[in-house]
Structures are given as C-alpha cells and as structure tokens.
Amino acid sequence: MPGDARLPACSTAPFRAAEFRSREEFETYFRENERLMADRWLREQSLASRSDRVVLDGTCGLCLEEAEFTSHTEGGEATAAGRVPNWREGMMCSCDRRLINRQRALLHYVLDTGALEPWMRVLGLGDMAAMEPVLQTCSARLVSGPGALLQAGRERDGLKNPNYHLILSADQLTKATAVKDLFAMLRRILVGGGQFVFTAAFDPRAAPGEAAGPDRPCDWSLIPQLLDGGFANAKACLYWSEEFGYLGPGNFIFAAQAA
C-alpha cells in the first residue's frame, strides 16, 4: 500500500514449491516424499482445536515481519481432538494486509519469481479486493474488479499489440471454465512471455475423464488445456510452509507463460 515501508521494493523471501507438469509427475513426487507428506499431515492434525480459532506464529512472506496467522475452526475437519481448520482459506496474517493463506501465497509467488515487476501492467480476475493494495504498489497499472476482462478485451481490440504483462486469477476457474477457449482469449491480451498465474479449487486425484459439472474443481486436464490455448511452461506449484503460514494439503498455484 502507498507509503507502507514494510513492503520493501516489492521484494520478498524465496517462495519454495514443488513443480509438476502432469499428474504423473505429481504422483511420483508424492510417492518419493511419502514421509514428508505424512509429517505435514500429522502436524496439521495435531493443531486440531475445540476453540473457535487456531493462532500460529510465523513470518509474513510479503513484509517479512513477525506475524500471527489466525484460522477459524468452524466448518473444519472434525477429529477426536477438535476441528482442523481449512488452512487454505484461513491463516489470516496479522499485518496490515490481512491476507489469507492462498492470497498471500499468490502475491509471494509472483513477486519472488519475477512474474510481477513494478513496471508491469496487471489484469486481476476474481475477487482481488484484498490483494489490490499490494498489486497497486507493485505494478504500473492494475485493472481488476467486475468487468476487468471485458475492459481488457476492448483495449485489445483497439491496439496493435496485446498489452498486459501478468494476468492473475484468484479462485475463479472450475473444471468447466478452465478450457482452451478461455485460455486462448487470455493469451491474446498478454504480451509474449507474459504470465498467467492463478489459484483454483483443484482436485489432484480426480479420475481422468470425469464430467465437468458447474462447480467441479479443476483437475490435471487444465495443463494440456493451457498448452492448447497458446501457453508454454504450464505448471502446478505445490507449496507448504509453517513459517510463512501456508499449511494445508492442497496448496497449489498454477502458472503458464504466453508462448
């Protein structure tokens, strides 16, 4: 946010993630890291609580200040020791930005990987309200909110070249919408080499060929759909860090580059 000295020049701590370009790569990683996956799960289960919230200490990945991450137990998984919060939708940071796990991670990812630089023009799709202050500080131009995609399409039609460097989408895609036609449209409003980075409800174990219901989470088919839509280097990044407040078994960020 303007004047916020704690977001130093849009730089952050390294964002660590395991990257997969197919279901096979993911399954192999899971088999080879079975112990790590089990340890993470046990740690998360051990935090089950009968109180209404779980508060954990850590470090905000955006401002690198000590922080508290607050997760509500309501609606979480029931265990004998209480409820385990939905970590992905929780772990709200105590810093001014008040971002939850997946929102903070999405910004942490684009800042650390260079997908977002201060000179870039950014299109934000989905509910970006909580992330807008950071994006406005760390980009030259941000178009987001209802109608953002329509506006970008109109701009595209009026220009010789597509003009966004980064498209961010926050939990908007489903299996039914994460298809080639949409990706091809997004590709057209990006500069060559620009990136499309998003979070989405995702089921890494969905049976191949399952029908696309309206609210069905995305599955691994989105990788070939991205490639067919004109993107390269399409990948799923699995992240987990207790220090940065990224608990949860299914923390994925997807990224693809305009070919």
| Least CB distance to Zn ion at residue 99 (A) | 6
**Cβ distance to Zn ion smaller for residue 69 or 202:** 69
| Least CB distance to Zn ion at residue 95 (A) | 3
**Cβ distance to Zn ion smaller for residue 5 or 211:** 5
**Cβ distance to Zn ion smaller for residue 93 or 247:** 93
Residue 15's closest CA among 108, 125, 130, 152?
108
Choose the stretch contacting Zn ion; rule: CB under 5 A; options: 13-21, 89-97, 227-235, 245-253.
89-97
What does the chain come to in residues? 259
Residues 90-109 that bind Zn ion (CB under 5 A): 93, 95
The binding track of 32-71 with respect to Zn ion, each residue x by CB under 5 A or -, is: ----------------------------x-----------
| Least CB distance to Zn ion at residue 90 (A) | 14
| Least CB distance to Zn ion at residue 49 (A) | 22
**Cβ distance to Zn ion smaller for residue 54 or 63:** 63
- 96, HSE (Cβ side, Cα atoms, 13 Å): 11
- The site for Zn ion, by CB under 5 A, has a size of 3
By CB under 5 A, tell whether 116 contacts Zn ion. no
| Least CB distance to Zn ion at residue 69 (A) | 9
In a 10 Å sphere around its CB, with 0-12 CB exposed, 13-18 middle and 19+ buried, how is residue 184 labelled?
Answer: middle
Residues 194-253 that bind Zn ion (CB under 5 A): none
What is the binding site for Zn ion (CB under 5 A)? 60, 93, 95
